Chain A
């Protein structure tokens, strides 16, 4: 079942089309990647999904019903890219306050915040002020604030920026755990290696429009260039053939691009026919990073002359 359906969403600002007719569905319990270069319209899209902005046109359907920004806030957890906390407020009070603002009762908020503090080993920080925290610590606090009210849909904008690998892994594990327990996660980023690792389903937006939509595997299949890496010790003269072109050749392997209509077995036959020892044979799929760059490169930056964030 789809937890969120976005239909033909549009938001135009005076000098640009921030979101121009974007539609997609997110199935419940999945980890969804929202990708795009800076200024692609990701933040605007997210702000509409979180009810901060009203769309100019289009619909947002949350769990089968039209999204109601005022009454559905408890179901949403949003961690903006620009982290924000009250610097002078004590950490525990702050987390409690923000959970209550979401609509939790005091006692529920207290139970949940305490639970999260224990889970992320932050109990001893309760009475510290935010201004005394390191950047990584306040990132963790920000994450707790985002998820403390047990939202069904969690939107994380660049959740790992500023975290060291240990803490990044900690948060990553929590994201997996939340997804396993039924929460849906929208993960907005331009760090492709994380997306490849974490996300089930991605869309790529650029200049307010959707360029790609699908699972990571499908997208890679769509963009594959029929490249294979063959672990074989081979002399260059043994590679002159019409079935593939050699892209790269090192002492113990060779990267080949298959010709039109050539199958994997044809390649293997070729090497075996030359009485060569094949140690490995892998298809090389493009990384999301490569796909991303291919698609986005060449288009002028969406907001070259407008540095506003809205």
Chain B
């Protein structure tokens, strides 16, 4: 055990001291925050005024079509497509217009409209037509209609989750969705990142021939476990640093970026989504408050605890397999690619299942695959934010965790047997048959 500790220490310290580690640890959050800032900046910048010429001889739209903040409708008596060359983004022709003899609205553009502009124009026209029909055919006055709209927008869907007749915390599937997705993807990325780090470490020891020197001092299993645990500790360290840095940077960013810009971004988002009617600032604030409330409603200690559990044991489960592959690889990196395939497959499969499971966290597929250790770290993390024990009963969580730990013990035991033989094997391409023999033969 003492020797394993020495190995862990070496693996940890050499990696943490490495320039690449420092660079990636400190640059990643910068990159991340920089990316967000960049996207924010571009969104704000890109939000340029667009002019749309409307040809509306019958005055079907004129009283009803309202210009938006970055979308201007100009009613021109003789609008035609020639206007496209005079600075107009689009030309909208109402039915019954001189040129447009058809029964539908036609829009001409010189280039394809962006998704956001198109949906924004579309929405405006729909509103206008709706208003026209309501007022002319329904006999409502414009004021009445506005009042109806405001009242409709004020209706909120408060989702109260009931469990055994008792009201639980306010559910919010949107937040659960986001948290689940994020956690599952983080685990997916780290499995690959640190798993392949283990594999490369083992390969390095083998091709450097240091392995023979070391296994004359320690058991091969100690060497393998030391490497896996050492790199796992590097992973945890990197994570904690990232979380800290992202938190620091984003709060710093929040202080630097003026409130105005944030508001603009909010508006830009609204235009794109179009999910919030009206777009009044009070509505947006209310939504924000609700989101904060929802974030507060998530059981963070449970999620973070589960995340750490599934990260650590998922990593251990796969790292042992990666180590076995690394030990079987010869100098040829091509070998590594083909040998890695059977390990990367289930990880990729897990992410596919996860995308399905996050939409239906209680489906049979989600339930069962969250108990299979190959998938459970990713799939279960996507389900947990939807609520324990609401969506994921305690027994499922328990079984999933126990099976994962057993799975980790099994892969480690199996990989240790492969590793022991393969690490001193040079020059021969390892076949699947040999893998099987090494893993399961009696020693």
Which residues of chain A have a CB within 8 Å of any CB of chain B? 47, 50-52, 54, 70, 73, 76, 78-80, 82-89, 97-98, 100-103, 145, 307-310
Contact = CB atoms under 8 A, between A and B. Distances in A.
A166 to B, nearest CB: 25
Contacts, number: 70
B6 A100 contact: yes
B112 interface: no
Nearest to A80: B212
Interface in B190-218: 205, 208-218
B208 A98 contact: no
B212 A101 contact: no
B6 A52 contact: no
A86 B208 contact: yes
Given A50-B216, A97-B10, A101-B3, A83 B427 contact: no
A79 B209 CA distance: 11
B425 A73 contact: no
A308 B426 contact: yes
B215 A52 contact: yes
Contact of A101 (B14, B217, B425): B217
A128 to B, nearest CB: 16
Contacts of B443: 54
A52 B10 contact: no
Given A83-B209, A101-B7, A51 B216 contact: yes
- Chain B contact residues (Cβ within 8 angstroms of A): what range? 20 to 34
Contacts of A307: 427-428
Contacts of A82: 209, 212, 426
Contacts of A84: 205, 208-213
Nearest to A89: B14
Contact of B426 (A70, A83, A86, A309): A309
B149 interface: no
Contacts of A80: 209, 212-213, 216
21 contacts: A47-B424, A70-B219, A73-B216, A73-B218, A78-B216, A80-B216, A82-B426, A84-B211, A84-B213, A85-B208, A85-B213, A86-B208, A86-B210, A89-B14, A98-B213, A100-B6, A101-B7, A102-B217, A307-B427, A309-B426, A310-B425
Given A84-B211, A86-B14, A309-B424, 14 more contacts: A47-B424, A52-B212, A70-B219, A76-B216, A79-B213, A82-B209, A84-B210, A84-B212, A85-B208, A98-B217, A101-B214, A308-B426, A308-B427, A309-B425
Residue among A78, A85, A86 with most chain B CB within 10 A:
A86
Contact of B214 (A47, A70, A87, A98): A98
